[in-house]
Structure 1
């Protein structure tokens, strides 16, 4: 048992270095200084972001410190018991070792978040494919699935833009997802999701196949946005609510088009035109960053001779609800027959299998 504890202690020390825990400890001190400033709450949104980042870092750092301390304490106890063997104590040490190993494996998972933006917030957009009400209902099911997943991981979801279907469902919606590693967790959902089921909107109860696109991009901090204003076309319009009615009487909604790429984003759920413009710029910056990352990946795959045809919206996951139940990830091959659990937001196995698959690419 002493050898096993020494091995675990070594793994913990190595992982603490890989995760830059010493650096995070220094970042905490810097944030503490910022939070103690008398004008800290002058900019409430910035203050909230700083507070959330501090709490996330604190949980991460103290968690690893506690784990390392517990293993050291158990190792000292095991060495004492080895001198005077006691079967009850040996059994207790084995039990605690097992628990600490489980805790280590849970925390080691974060090594998989190696991307530059993985620790930050995410912007998640949903778009219904062709198929009318059935596709829009599928899009709303995906929104619910992702929001349930976010809730289970204590991520905060803020609606930035939404277009409801005429009969049911959602045509499109965009959310900001805030929380430590929000982008790291949600990047696995980026792509086209396919549903096969008996449509509740078909009087003849025929089987339908529907598609919806989920876009997941990192939220880029305002001070890091580098976009030439000359490359943008900015339009303002009156924000609309459900059914098309106006939710206010000012032109607060904003649409921004990035002329070189044709990427268009809009935001209407903030109260002012300036807030909507800031949110739209963050979404645009995230999309441009994602486009650059995908371009670099495509270049690497091309060099390896593995580049596939760049079809927009290539399918990443299939959800079959008829004639059998199965959710299968096209990339990782991970699958489960528990479709209800998946649609209720239990995506952790899909996320982990994707991250491990990504490391191997």
Structure 2
């Protein structure tokens, strides 16, 4: 049997040709392809402005900066998320304050956010976990009257929808990822989208050491104009090589999402009669791209999450543990407050099943057969 990976990007000849064109052009750093990718991404997500950066972590960092978060502020974040969500506030000297989640969606809610607010809260990071859209309007109804900025961490959510629009369309500012585990990939890379032109302009400067004249403008001039550095900035640029891949990937997005939702539907139908396995599902307010197809393992299923992972591995199937909880990691233990019961329960009982565009019927059937065979066994 060949190994079934939990995820693999859908890359091919078109991406190779796009990168070859960039290399042939002689311009491989941030330049015209990055600008084109920003324009195409903004159109795809119905955003006013898009700013390409080197990673989603960089996007979160800059989003918090341009939104006005300062040293000593509190930023409410879900613990049930990759650690980058909690890391970003600390780069500014702010304190991450952990909020619990809805146990069905894995996302923060207006209620869980409200219970985590403090007198120093200046921003909230709301994550579309695994591609499941967060109920942004509910959270903004809590935060907007208090002058608290909501940053949407849409790292996993390109291709998901919220109330009939692309995720992020109604966000004041959002951060996106193009890591290889994401549906649209550029290898590494990220994007900021925002409705505020001044925030976008500042993010463009900050990603490039806060130069008053971009590198592309300087290198495009025979006599480069003088530049000045208006504040301490960062080297968070995306390259034209990455953007060229992203432009091709973005064209594939509708097909990618359609295929992933088809595979997710098969999983959900085939697992509905196995007691103790609960698959992730669309929330009432939107549709998921199923960037991660996770299942919760509980009684009366005869195996716990760790046992099931080992069982799948014996079939040469590479599943993954569910989303981590940052408040239980050594790096953020000092920020841990009270228990986050739903976050800890989901983190300990969920696993992510293989799901990728090229997945064949026989590969998916092998995963389902392994889950069924485990259900028929007991610890022994």
More helix by share: 1
Which one has the bigger strand percentage? 1
TM-score by length of 1: 0.27
When normalised by structure 2's length, the TM-score is 0.26
Q: Comparing both chains, which one has the higher relative contact order based on Cα–Cα distances under 8 Å and sequence gaps of 6 or more?
A: 2
